[in-house]
Structures are given as structure tokens and as C-alpha cells.
Structure 1
Amino acid sequence: MEVFEEALQYLISSGIPVEENGAVDSEFPPDVFGDETDWLPSITEEVAAFPDTPICKSPEEMLDRRLQLLKEILISEETYLNELKILIMPLKALRASASTSQPVLSIEQVQTVFYQLPELLDIHTEFHSSLRAKLELYLDLEPGLPLIQQHENLDLSVGDLFIKFVSQLGVYRGFIDNYENAVEIVKKCTQSDPRFRTIAQSMKSTKGSDNSRAMYTFEALLYKPLDRVTKTTLVLHDLLKHTPADHHDSVVLQEALRVSSSFLSGVNEGSQCKTSVTLSRGERRQLVRDGFVVEVFDGGRSLRHLFLYTDLLLCVKLKCGAMGKQPYYRFCWYMPIAGLRMNWAAEQEASAELQLKISNMRLKVFHLRREFWKCMKEKKGSVSRAADRCRRKLEACEIWLLTHKPSFILELHSPSSKSHTIHLHSLYELDEWREAINNRKAEEVETVPPDLLSLTNSCVKLRMTQQLPLCCLKPDNEENNMCGSVCVIVHSACGLQQPVSVYVCVEVDGFEIFERRAQTCLSSYSLMPQWDQELLLKVDGAQHLYLLCLSQSEENILARTMIQLNPADMLKKWKKMNVNLGSIEVTLSIKYSPHPLEPPSSAPLQHQPVFCVLIGDVARQERVLVPHIVRACVDEVERRGLEEEGIYRISGASNEIQALKQAFNTNYWEAMSKVRNVDVNVVSGTLKLYLRELPEPLIPAAYFQRLSKAMDLTDPNLRESTMLSELHSFPDVNRNTLLFLLHHLKRVAVKEELNKMSLSNLATVFGPTLMRPPAATLDQCAPPVDISQEVEVQVHVIYLYLQIPKLPEALTTQPLDTEEDP
């Protein structure tokens, strides 16, 4: 494809109508550059790029914006002139050396390398001087104030300068045709002659008011004119867009645009602008990775394709081609890897309104997909009109879902203060991007400004990601695709370098109809954290499971790995495995249950409260045998409260306990953050409050009389066996939670000398909390109960349980029928 065709394709992708003879229509639609402000490349990223150019509403505003644009063009010309001067600087010395006995370059090589460069310098020097003279009156105006308020005459005429300039573009033709030979000489001499290498890799220029010195390479500078000429058409178009139709420059600028387009049409398609660029270390620019992301700009979100090259990030938008033509990419922005800074975070919880829209959209996608399958089956694989309409609806809904559902934010900041915000669909993918970019940064390769037209066009052939994870692109239910439920129990982890509070995040791939991510609670501060927590994920089209281990600080992803899902290995029985995430090893069990998927709920998921809720309901919701609130509070007390005098006897501040209760009821992650920072007596007080406010006591009321009778048995062995027998008959959650607490209270009593809490003291504190008589004994018709007898029973029963030497261990999850890895 010719350079002219590449330029036209870029213009067409921007929505600019182009005539068949190569001239551009006189009426141009808005948003040529839009948010794509980086089209003018700069090695040091200090060149003033052309900013956004929104549609002007009045002729006065258009003239105001036009004048600002002219000033920016002037700044750009100054930078380009500086680059040409640096490029030509060695000419005299190399020419003189050519006539000596040890030339750096021969005279023929000098002529080839610097061919037409002095002429280009003269053309741009004249253009710059003329434009500066035109703008002399406007250069010192107060910044930030609209020019129309500072100067009455904005009716500036510059059309004659541009028409003269484009009439001399023929000089560039010679430079372009010679470019390949010039670059070849520069490359060979850079490799073979140390003297020329010194020149080629260390050319400097004075930049900015502080006279700082910017480093260039010869090849990068030689690329500048080539890159510059391909932008002439775009500059003229942007200037024309802000010139009122009745302005005397309008017709002249249209003619200049026509001449510029005609010039590009004659450039030979073999020009070197298509050749990959050599970076400062001799490395060729290569594609490292690519993928689909969501970009956030001006309050909106759009699907983008992100390409990571050896030295830069390129963001493009896939555009559908006209009838009968292939899709193509439209350039959005690029950022050099050198000096790039990254920050990431999980997206904040969506508003209730957006959550409802997302839930409704998931339900709509679910039904559209089944309707699409039905249409395809009726036509036996051929695409009917009904199927095509359904497919297009499905695609639109899925793309909306991809761009609006909660995701992970990656903020990119360049040294020149340019920033872009992108959203990624998974935490695993985000960490992959961060690692790939950091690896490129470590190479410290200089960024060579790209030819954006050819680089963007090459993306179609270079892309690694073939398509988005959309149902409409995979209509057939492939045999290897999983459909049903995947249960993952995260047991424990080892290999941490220091005690830390961590959690494990599990993700699956596949379609976006159901939630594809779940995570454990935060562990206690430990070298070997324990969770024994079950996570349930509905899967549709899943093929991989992604496992990540994160510290309490969300900025720190400690390790990650990917597991290939094999449905045959996970059917019927749990498969237990030790998964290596690098330095960390996670033990988990996984099971796959295939079944037809029910439509997703149209109601957004809500955080369910835990206080004043039956403990069995809380445990069932969390898919555990011991609720997270109990485990979290116990872990924290054991971490920093075992030596606290009066722990569980001295209560914490009431208002702080209520705040922690509210956090557990509304936001578990906020609660865990508070648990780590509040006074430990607040944590112990919150645990007692939770147990006290259970609608049914932890020891079911039906067992009150039975345990009271067992307590009166005089034979200690018979009494112990009877009480254990009663304990084993408790509901699973009540039994294991009570055992979990009893073992914890025993560990508290071990530190009795420091905390002054003996088994007797602990039984006195927890007896009335854990055990209550049945409601019938409080009825007026029932025999009256002495309150002192009631308390005595409560305390004595807990004390006897605490004294049992071989108390069974608590289970935090259901026992599994597992098949362990050999």
C-alpha cells in the first residue's frame, strides 16, 4: 500500500470523506484528532503536541481556536527545525573528512546520507520565519484568557504561507526515495566504524529554558522528515476545520490540502516508512503482547486494542470497513515505555442504578444467546436474517457489558505528564501487562518515534489476540468448553517471606454472563495462612483458572499462576492439589459439576448482614462451617491480645464496637481493615456481641436441659462422654464454631499469668453468651427458673467443656471426598 493510501486510510478512519482522485472534501466532519493528541512524535516527549480540537460553536470561537492552533504549529516547527539542525551539524566535518586519507564516510556516502536535508532546512526556516512574523502580535498574550478577549483582530491570513510551503513538497520526494539508502549507510557505518558510532548515538540538542541536553540517535533524527511529511495533510485538515467557510483563507487552504494529498499519492509504495526501526541498542521494534482493554476518557468508556511494542505502548480502535472491505485500526495514542509510571486499583463499587443495569444486561445476553442458538439450529448452521439480527443485538449487549462491568484500573503516566486510564477485565491480565511493561522498562531502550500510519496498519497482521470473549463469536457449544459450576476450596499457603495478611483471588475465563471472580477472606498475620474457604463460580466456556495471592495492600500482587481446566479430572470427586505460584505454594481442592445454567438473577448482588442472623444461614452464605467474623476476630485476638490483661473481660469502646459491627454487616473488606487497627478489646467485644445477638444461641436452646442434667452426673468419665455425645449431635455449624471457640479460649488461658483470664473466668464471660434456656422456661405458665441457677448452668457447662483434655478439633469446611495429585 502506498504512503498516500495509508494517509487516506487514516483520514477515512477519522470520518473524513475523501474523493476518488485523492482530494479531500471541502466539508470536513469534526474530531480529526479528538483525544489522539500524540500524533506528532518526539524523542524527548517535550514537543508541544496538538491538543484536542472540539467543535467550535461560533465564528469567533473558531477564529480563537484557529489562532491557538497556529501558535502550536509554530512551536512544532521550531522543534522540527532544531532537529534538522542537529541532523545536519556533522555534515561539514564528515565532508571535510571525506577528502582525507582516513575518511569516516566517503563523499558519495555523505551525499547520500544528507541528501536534500539542507534544502528541507531552508524550506522550513523560511516557513517558520514567515509564520512567526504573522503571529508576532499574538505571541505574548496572556495565557489562559480567550484570545478574542485580548485582541480585536483575529482575522489573520496565513493561506499564502501554506500554499507556498506545499508547493515545495517535491523536495521531500527526493528525500523519501533516498531514505532507504541513507539508513542502510548509517546502520553499516554505526556497526563498523567507532568514530561514526559515536556521532550516530550521541547527538545532542539544547532543549527548554533550562538548556537541558536531549540525546538523539542519527537514525531517529533521519526518520524525522519522513514522519513529518505524512502529517502535513492532517495539519492542514485541522487548520481548515477551524477556518470559517467565509474566511479568505478557506479556499486557499483547501487548495493546499489538495496539493498535499496529491503529493502523497505519488510517493513510491516501497518507501522506507514501512521498514521497522532500529532502537538505540540495535534491537528491532517488535510486538511483545496485545489485548483488548477499556479506555476511559471524557467520562465515557470505549473498547480499545492495546499493543505493547519493544519501546512503546500503542492504543488503537478497531473500525469496521466499508462494504466488502476488511476491518482496520484507527490510531488513538501511544506512550513511550521509558519513564512510564503505572498505578492500579480495583474499581470502586458501582452505583445501585448501574448494578441493576449490569444485572439486567446479563439476563438479556443470556436469553439472546439461546435465541441465537435456536435460530442457528433451525437453519442447520447457516446464518438467516433472524440469526444475523440476533447476533448483532448480542454483540452490542456483550460489548456494553464488557465496558461497564466492574474491572481493574491501570493508570499510565508518561514523563511528559500525559496520562491514560484503561480498565482490564481480570486481575491476572492486569498483572501480566504490568510485568510485561516493567520488563521492557528494565531494558532501557530508547523510544524512536513511530510512523503512526504504517505502525497502526501493521496491527491487523501483528495482533496476537484474535477476538473478544463474546458469545456471538462462538455460537456453538464446543465439547471442551465447561458449562456448570466450579467449586474451589482454598485451604492454605506457605512460602511467604514474612508474616503478612493475605487473600487468594480465583478467576476463570469464558463469557461475561456470570461473575468470573471470587476471593477468600483475609488471613491472619502469618507465615502459613489458613482459609479452608469454598468459592463457587458458575462457568460458561471456561478453559482456564487463574490463581493470585495478594497482600492486604491491594497494590501488592505477591504471585500468580494459571491452571488448565480439565473437566474429566474434576468430576464426581474433589481434586486436591498443591499449586506453585513461584515462591508461594497454595493448597486447594477443585470440583466441576456440569449442569444447565439458570438465567442470572436480574437483582444485583447485595452484601448480606451477619449480625442478628442465624449462624447456619451466615455459614451457608459464606460456604464455611465457621463464619468469617468469628475466625477474623479470633485470629486478631491471638495475634495481639493473648497477653492483654482482662481480654474478653474488659470491654472496648461501645461506639467503636458498633462501628465494627456496621462494617461487618455492610463491607467485609472495610471490616477487616478496621479489625487490624482498632483496640484489641474492641475486637473481642465485637465477637461477644455477635454471639450474644444470635437469634438462636450457639449452643441450641433445646440442649439446655440435657446439658444441665449431664452436668449433675457424679462420674466424671460418664459426664464427659455424655457432654461430648451431646456436642456431636449439634448442627454442624454450631458444633464446629463452638469447638473453634473452645480451643481458642484454651489458648487464651495458657497465658493466664499475663492476661489474668483463667478457664473459670472465661467460662463466666462466655457462659451466658453461648448458652440460653429455651423460651418455654420463661413463659408464665412454665415452672419458674431461678436466674442464679440459669447462670450457674451456663457457666458450668462451658467450664466443663474447656476442661475436657481431648476436645475434638473444629472443621472450618465440610470434609471432602478428594483425589490428591500423585
Structure 2
Amino acid sequence: MDVYQEAVDYLESQQVPAILEVEPDVLEEDVFQDEVVSSFLSPLQTESIDFPDTPTSCSVEDMLDRRLLVLKGILESEELYLRELETLLMPMKALRASAGTSQPVLSSQQVQTVFYQVPELRDMHQTFYSGLKARLDTHSETETCLGENQEPSHPGFELAVGDLFLKMVNQIGLYGGFIENYQKAVQVVRKCTQTDPRFRTLAESMTSNNGSARTKYTFEALLYKPLDRVTRTTLVLRDLLKTTPEEHKDLPALQEALRLSRSFLSGVNESSQCKREVTLSHGMRRQLIRDGFVVDVNEGEGSLRHLFLYTDLLLCTRFKHATKGKQSQYRFCWYLPLAGLKLRFLADQGPPSDSHLRTSHDIRSKMFLLRQQLKQRAKGSKGAAMAARARKKLEQLELMLFKHSPVHRLELHSPSGKSHSFLLSSLYELEDWREAIYKLTTGSIETVPPDLLTLTSACVKLRMTQQPPLHSSNAEDERSLCGTLSVAIHSADGLQAAACVYVCVEVDGYEFYDKQAKTHSSVLSTSPHWDQELSFQVDGAQNMRVLCVSQSDQQDDTVLGKESLRLDAKSLNNRWKRQTLHLGQVEVTLSLKYSPHPLEPPGSTAQRQLVFGVPIETVAQQQGVLVPHVVRCCVEEVERRGMDEVGIYRISGTTSEIGMLKAAFNSNLREAVTRLRSAEVNAVAGVLKLYFRELPEPLFPTDMFQRLAKTLDVPDSNSRLVSMLSLLQCCPDPNRHTFLYLMHHLQRVSERQDVNKMSLLNLATVFGPSLLRPPVAKLGHDFPPIDISQEVEVQVQVASCYLQCNNLPEAQIALPHDTEAEEETTHI
């Protein structure tokens, strides 16, 4: 059994979480990739073994057993490091020999620069490795000989290694010279790699035998190894001290070694420039551009991480809060150079699962109750301590929701094959990140290998964002909104090319309800129209963000523009206020309405608002329109690509596809419209027919059937048309406007009857029976019986008469949202 597995099994047997981790051997390593973890003790790629500072819950024997595991891990790490140094030094003799020839690969000065202090470092670590290995071997033999007759004292007390560590640390000054010379050495390697093919072949194919595998390195990656190694010394000593009992004779030597190591690293950091100030190859200095909290999905379940974007790299860290006697610090998770980094933006991660919805509901319900308690306590002078506890709990719940609710993903793919991704619940915030990263990746970037320990430690001072964006941490504002905020999205202008576009709206405030909503995707157009109303239940809302997004079947969604709008309860009221937002080159026209009122507790799940089989007035009221979205979207799609389809509305689409689209409209409008674009056009036409056929009450109420049938008997065509239009005015608004919208569409279809073979009579025959139905005989109602053939004839003739009318009134699609006298154009 190897040391790693032995360590894991032991810690698990002692109920200690095993956080050891080793990455498998790799075939190739480059300095611009994430550094390969050479030891499970690495403080860079993985956490060091985090034993308690005081052994209150484990015996001295347990500590000594763990100490032995730590020492074995250090020995393995030293062995791998020595192999890497030997690989780096392997070509030194040949390069020195060629320096005296007529065609040198490197000059004598260049050879001295490249390998400066490396032999000395190799000798220092070889001496330390040999001494440590000898003592561990002797200890192992002693344990075997003792067997059952071992002495009462634990054999771990006899294993003394403190002098070895102290001797090595006393020579750590060798690293100071290496660090000062490092940049010069790298410059020589890069220059010669570019100018001399002989050196390039050497520099790109250096291999080392690492156990059973052969690892391929670049010269520059090997040069970085000592720089990486020296930063680990302090953490290795700290881990060893954590497992060394106070009565052990090694304790004073190890404490002194740790002090010297910390002093050396502190001096190096103070004398060198901050890693933020490293000069890059193209003249820029490494600077922190932005930072913030995200949910990292590269470790299985999502984890809250603090992300730092520098001029040339992206650094992901985990914040460790200060404990007694210690300072707050960041722990390294991963980093990616920006050079050649590819971004993939995914605006939707699919519908959440039932368990996800239940968890979100539980968190939001608790938040709502805590918020109500805080409001009640705010009215009195007592209960300050209870209010403080409630606010703290509210922050904790909001943080849980922050980690639980993200749906927008940004994937990062580096040329080396490394991939990472993170999530945010705000599309606006994610687009800020994407824009910032993309702007840097489009420049000429060359990464200077960072000292990750120093860079990560500097994050405490460099950070701009101190905590996750929790609304409960913000100060209350009397101008914030509490009630219902309605947003009607009308249209957009300024698109450079025709596109399928949707608008996303986000509001802030307490997360009791969903804070994001999107319109359906428009048909391919340079001037898309939606007239779609979005509604938010808000508490403490102060800002609204609007994004215009282009949706493509072949590519990722593209944010065309975004803007943030300040919400003020004093300027908004129960009347619609129309305004135009400038989102870059795109202008989005919308209307706002705010109705203040106490909030109801959040529902258990998002209530499904069915569309099919529901009275049209109900659907129209839910959607805030006069013509339901399912009618508009199907009509727009047919007019986009079905006007020349032979037998459109007469030839049926696939039943399964129609059923799939119906289910989508009943659950998610955006998903339904997206599917419409790729569905067979006859299936789209079938969905429209099915909607009218499944209406509980047809567009013409059944009690109007007899009146319409009598109107057909009027001999004068003009008088008959006037009567029919008069009867149409008696219909409820959604029925009337939906009917007119459909009639105008069918008239446009018939204009292409030379191609699609659908005349007005054919269309009347298809739609007539769905738009008009005779009343059903019921108890207490005496309707004259109607022959089935006569019934169909009336239905077709009524539809045909309306279709033949050349002056049908225009349909009003949406409710009026512009009751304010003047339109406001908002510039932010």
C-alpha cells in the first residue's frame, strides 16, 4: 500500500477528514499550466493537512502516528523534487562544453545565468533527503525489532529529525540568489528557445523518470520548480509542528526552523515587487482588474469561491476567516493564464429539479419569516439583541441561497487543456465577468509564472470586494420598493443584423421570490417586438438591470447590451410609466408600474400557469396581453417560414411534436418559443389550431351562434357585414382582438395561395369549427336543434365572411402600458 492510501485509511479510521489529494502522473507539463502537485503536502494545489493546533481531542500516540505519515510524505516529495532538479541539470555539462566551440548553443555567461545556484540547491536537498531517509529506515527497523516487546514509550519519541530541518533551513539563503536571478534565467531560456532550434528541441523535451511513468517537462517549467518549492517550506514545517507533541525533543529545533523559514520568505517578499507589480513581457504590469464571489463547480458540488482577475491570469481562492491568534487568509484553489483562454457563455442551465425547488423554497420561506420578524422588532425599542441574531441568520440563509441558486455558467478553456467554470445567479454580473476577461484575452498576453503563495496571500490586501453580494448586509432605504413591480417589454431597435432576441430583467432586494425573468425569444428581426409583461414580488428592491440577448441555435447566447436602472418608490406608482433604455447600440422600450402592498409568503413551488384548455380571458390576464403569446408566436413563426408551404394549416404536423410543443407552452414560454424555431412548420401550425380547438369557450361565445347564423340570411352584403362587425364588438376584448389578429394573418396566408394552395375558403373550412360552436343543450335551456351539416356550414360561412372583409379593424395585441403623457428616455 502506498503512503498516500495509508494516510487516507488511517485518518478515516480516526474519524479525521482525509483531505489529502494527489494528482495522477501527467505526460507533459508546461509552466503556463496549473502546476502538477508533486506532493500531498503541497499548499498550492491542495490544502495542507490541517490538524488542530492543540491536541485536545487526540492522544499523543495518535499525534506521533500522524507525524510519521507527514514525514513519509515529505520524503516522497523530496525524492520527486530531486529528480526534477537532476533533470534540469542534465544538459548543463553538454551546454558548457559547447560554449567553447565555434557554434555554441549557449555562451558561458548564459550557462552560468540559467543554472545559477541550481547545483547548490540540488546538493542541499540531497543531503537533507539522505539524512531523512536514513532516520526513517532506522525507525522502521526499530519498530520491526521491537514487535510485541516494545517499550512503554512510543517509538515515535525516538525519531528525531529537527536537526535535519534546521540544517536545511540554515542554508535556505541559497534560494535568495536563485530568486534574484530567476527572471534573467527565464529571459535567456525564452530568447534562445525562439532563436536557436537546437536549444528549442532541448528545452521542449526534457524528461524525468517518476516511478513507473515518464514525465515530459519544458525547460521553463523545471526552472520554476525551485521557486515553487521554497514557498512550501513554511507550510511543511507548520504541518510537522502540528503533529509534534510538546514533550518531543524535536520541538525547539522545528520551531526555530519555522521561524527562520518565515523570516526568509518575509524578507524575499518585502524586497521583491508585489506580484501584482510584475512586469509582463509586453510592458504592462500585473494589476488586479476586478474580483468577486462566484460558485465554483470544478469540485463536484458548487463551492463559494473568491475570484481575482489580474492583467494576465485568473486566480480562484477560498477565504479562510481569522481564528484566535491568527489572521484571515486566502487559500489557493486554481489559476488559469489568460493567454489563449477561450470563453463559453451559457445563459440557461435547464429547469431545476424538484429537490432543488424544494430546497430553494425552504430557504426562502425561512428568510421571509426572519424578515417579517425584523420589521416588527424595528417598530419597538426592545429586542435589539434578538434582532441582531435574526439579521445574522438572515445573512446565513441568503448565503446558502447564493450558493444554491446560480443558473448562468461561464466556462473557461485554456490551450493547455485545463478547463474551469463558475456560476452566478445574475446574468448581468456574469456578463461583467465575461466582458472583463474577454477584453484582456484579446490583447497580447504572456504570463509570467506567478509565485502563487505570495500572490494568494496578497489577496487579503488587494481585494476590492469584501463579501458576497448579500442584500441583508445593506442599509435600509426608505425609497426601496416593497410590493409588485410590473415591467412590460415592448420592443427593441438598433440591431445591426436580424436576430432572435430576448430581454432579461433582474431586480435586487430580498430573495423571497425569483428576481429574474425573461421574455420569449423574438422571431428573426432587426426590430423585435414582444409586448410581454413580467411581474416581480419585491422587498427592498432598489435597482433593476436589463439585458438584451441574441439567441442562436449554432452559437452561444450573445449579450447585445445591458444597463442598470435605479428604482425609486417615489417616482413610480400604479400608472404605467413608459421609457427607453439605451443598452449600448440597442434601445429597449419598456414600461414600469409599481403597486406597494404587504407581501404574501412565497408559494411552495412556482405555480404553473397553463395555457391550453384555459379560458382565453384567464390566459390574457395572466400574461398582461390581449392576444395570448402562444397565438402570436405560432403566427410569427408560420409567417417567417411557412407562407409558401403547400397545404399550410391543412396538412397536419407530427402528433408527437405537437404534443411536445403544447407541453412546453404549458410550462415554459421561453423554452416553447425556442423549440418552435426548430420544429417542423406544419407542427407549429398544428399547435395554433389545437389551441383554438381546446378553448373551453370559443372566441365567439356560444350564445352568439344563433345571432351569427341569422346574420348570414341578410341579403345585402354591406348590411350583413355591418351586423357581423357589430356582433364582433360584443365579444370580450381578448376574444375580439385575438380573432382579429388571426383573421389578418389568414388573409396574408391567402395572398400566397398561388404557392401554398390555401384560399380563403380553405382557411375558413379549417378554422371555422374552432372559432364558433353551437350551444350545448342543457337542463333548463331550450335551444333549437341544429343539423350537423348546417352547423358546419354556419361555422365556415361566418369565418369566410370575416376573411373576405377588406376593412377589418386592426387588432390590439397588448394592454396599453403608456398611460403617462410623455415618454421618458433614460440615460444612465
TM score, norm. by length of structure 2: 0.78
Are the aligned partners of 2:162 and 2:251 in contact in 1 as well (CA < 8 Å)? Answer: no
How large is the Cα RMSD of the aligned pairs?
4.7
Q: Secondary structure at the match of 1:489?
A: strand
In the alignment, which residue of structure 1 is the partner of 2:331?
330
Relative distance call for 1:95 and 1:456 in structure 2 (3 A) is: farther
In the alignment, which residue of structure 1 is the partner of 2:372?
370
- Which of 273, 276, 296 is the aligned partner of 1:275? 273
Q: Aligned equivalents of 2:286 and 2:127: distance in 1?
A: 35
Letter in 1 for 2:751: V
Relative distance call for 1:333 and 1:801 in structure 2 (3 A) is: same
In the alignment, which residue of structure 2 is the partner of 1:542?
542
In the alignment, which residue of structure 1 is the partner of 2:6?
none
Q: Secondary structure at the match of 1:300?
A: coil
Q: Deviations over 1:211-265 (max 9, x none)?
A: 9784749xx95x7645422202434666899x9x99xxx9799788545413224
In the alignment, which residue of structure 2 is the partner of 1:411?
411
Are the aligned partners of 1:232 and 1:260 in contact in 2 as well (CA < 8 Å)? Answer: no
Relative distance call for 1:676 and 1:260 in structure 2 (3 A) is: same
In the alignment, which residue of structure 2 is the partner of 1:79?
84
Determine whether 1:820 maps to 2:819.
Answer: no
Q: Secondary structure at the match of 2:631?
A: helix
Once the two structures are superposed, the pairs formed by residues 743-754 of structure 1 within 5 Å of their partners are 743-754=744-755
Letter in 2 for 1:783: P
In the alignment, which residue of structure 1 is the partner of 2:732?
731
Are the aligned partners of 1:504 and 1:548 in contact in 2 as well (CA < 8 Å)? Answer: yes
Relative distance call for 1:761 and 1:77 in structure 2 (3 A) is: same
Letter in 1 for 2:370: L
Are the aligned partners of 2:610 and 2:667 in contact in 1 as well (CA < 8 Å)? Answer: yes
Relative distance call for 1:104 and 1:486 in structure 2 (3 A) is: farther
Relative distance call for 1:469 and 1:518 in structure 2 (3 A) is: same
Determine whether 1:626 maps to 2:631.
Answer: no
Shift of 1:159: 7.9
Q: Aligned equivalents of 1:311 and 1:117: distance in 2?
A: 28
Are the aligned partners of 2:492 and 2:589 in contact in 1 as well (CA < 8 Å)? Answer: no
Percent pairwise identity: 42
Are the aligned partners of 1:350 and 1:406 in contact in 2 as well (CA < 8 Å)? Answer: no
Letter in 1 for 2:517: A
In the alignment, which residue of structure 1 is the partner of 2:487?
488
Letter in 2 for 1:74: E
Q: Secondary structure at the match of 1:378?
A: coil
Are the aligned partners of 1:36 and 1:331 in contact in 2 as well (CA < 8 Å)? Answer: no
Q: Aligned equivalents of 1:480 and 1:208: distance in 2?
A: 66
Shift of 1:29: 6.8
Q: Secondary structure at the match of 2:264?
A: coil
Q: Aligned equivalents of 2:89 and 2:381: distance in 1?
A: 64
Once the two structures are superposed, the pairs formed by residues 463-542 of structure 1 within 5 Å of their partners are 463-474=463-474, 476-539=475-538, 540-542=540-542
In the alignment, which residue of structure 2 is the partner of 1:641?
642
User: Which consecutive unaligned segments of at least 5 residues does structure 2 have?
Assistant: 1-13, 41-45, 52-61, 102-106, 138-154, 209-213
What is the aligned residue count?
750
In the alignment, which residue of structure 2 is the partner of 1:450?
450
TM score, norm. by length of structure 1: 0.78
In the alignment, which residue of structure 2 is the partner of 1:145?
none
Structure 1 window deviating more from structure 2 (87-96 vs 441-450): it is 87-96
Q: Deviations over 1:640-686 (max 9, x none)?
A: 22112221122223343333333333444453344333332222222
Q: Aligned equivalents of 2:803 and 2:309: distance in 1?
A: 62
Once the two structures are superposed, the pairs formed by residues 228-627 of structure 1 within 5 Å of their partners are 228-235=229-236, 258=255, 260-267=257-264, 269-272=266-269, 275-276=273-274, 277-296=278-297, 299-322=300-323, 327-345=328-346, 346-376=348-378, 378-379=380-381, 384-474=384-474, 476-539=475-538, 540-553=540-553, 555-567=556-568, 570-571=572-573, 573-583=575-585, 585-627=586-628
Q: Deviations over 1:151-182 (max 9, x none)?
A: xxxx99x9889963652222223643x68876
Shift of 1:751: 0.6
Letter in 1 for 2:698: P
Q: Aligned equivalents of 1:607 and 1:64: distance in 2?
A: 57
Q: Aligned equivalents of 1:636 and 1:518: distance in 2?
A: 23
Letter in 1 for 2:349: E
Q: Aligned equivalents of 2:279 and 2:238: distance in 1?
A: 31
Relative distance call for 1:333 and 1:375 in structure 2 (3 A) is: farther
Shift of 1:48: 4.0
Q: Aligned equivalents of 2:72 and 2:338: distance in 1?
A: 33
Letter in 2 for 1:525: L
Q: Aligned equivalents of 2:170 and 2:72: distance in 1?
A: 28
Q: Secondary structure at the match of 2:678?
A: coil
Are the aligned partners of 1:236 and 1:253 in contact in 2 as well (CA < 8 Å)? Answer: no
Q: Deviations over 1:376-419 (max 9, x none)?
A: 55348xx9321222122112211111111242233344455544
In the alignment, which residue of structure 2 is the partner of 1:15?
none
In the alignment, which residue of structure 2 is the partner of 1:18?
none
Q: Secondary structure at the match of 2:330?
A: strand
Q: Aligned equivalents of 2:692 and 2:67: distance in 1?
A: 70
Are the aligned partners of 1:312 and 1:334 in contact in 2 as well (CA < 8 Å)? Answer: yes
Are the aligned partners of 2:313 and 2:447 in contact in 1 as well (CA < 8 Å)? Answer: yes
Are the aligned partners of 2:483 and 2:599 in contact in 1 as well (CA < 8 Å)? Answer: no
Shift of 1:549: 1.2
Are the aligned partners of 2:699 and 2:772 in contact in 1 as well (CA < 8 Å)? Answer: yes
Letter in 2 for 1:306: L
Shift of 1:515: 1.2
In the alignment, which residue of structure 2 is the partner of 1:13?
none
Relative distance call for 1:184 and 1:741 in structure 2 (3 A) is: closer
Relative distance call for 1:239 and 1:808 in structure 2 (3 A) is: farther
Q: Secondary structure at the match of 1:648?
A: coil
Q: Aligned equivalents of 1:802 and 1:364: distance in 2?
A: 56
Shift of 1:104: 8.3
Q: Aligned equivalents of 1:379 and 1:37: distance in 2?
A: 61
Structure 1 window deviating more from structure 2 (360-369 vs 163-172): it is 163-172
Shift of 1:777: 8.0
Letter in 2 for 1:708: A
Are the aligned partners of 1:37 and 1:333 in contact in 2 as well (CA < 8 Å)? Answer: no
User: Which consecutive unaligned segments of at least 5 residues does structure 1 have?
Assistant: 1-26, 97-101, 137-154
Letter in 2 for 1:465: T
In the alignment, which residue of structure 2 is the partner of 1:22?
none
Are the aligned partners of 2:291 and 2:308 in contact in 1 as well (CA < 8 Å)? Answer: yes
Q: Aligned equivalents of 2:729 and 2:417: distance in 1?
A: 65
Letter in 2 for 1:618: V
Q: Aligned equivalents of 1:91 and 1:184: distance in 2?
A: 21
Letter in 1 for 2:452: L
Q: Aligned equivalents of 1:752 and 1:469: distance in 2?
A: 58
Q: Deviations over 1:701-724 (max 9, x none)?
A: 232223233333333333323322
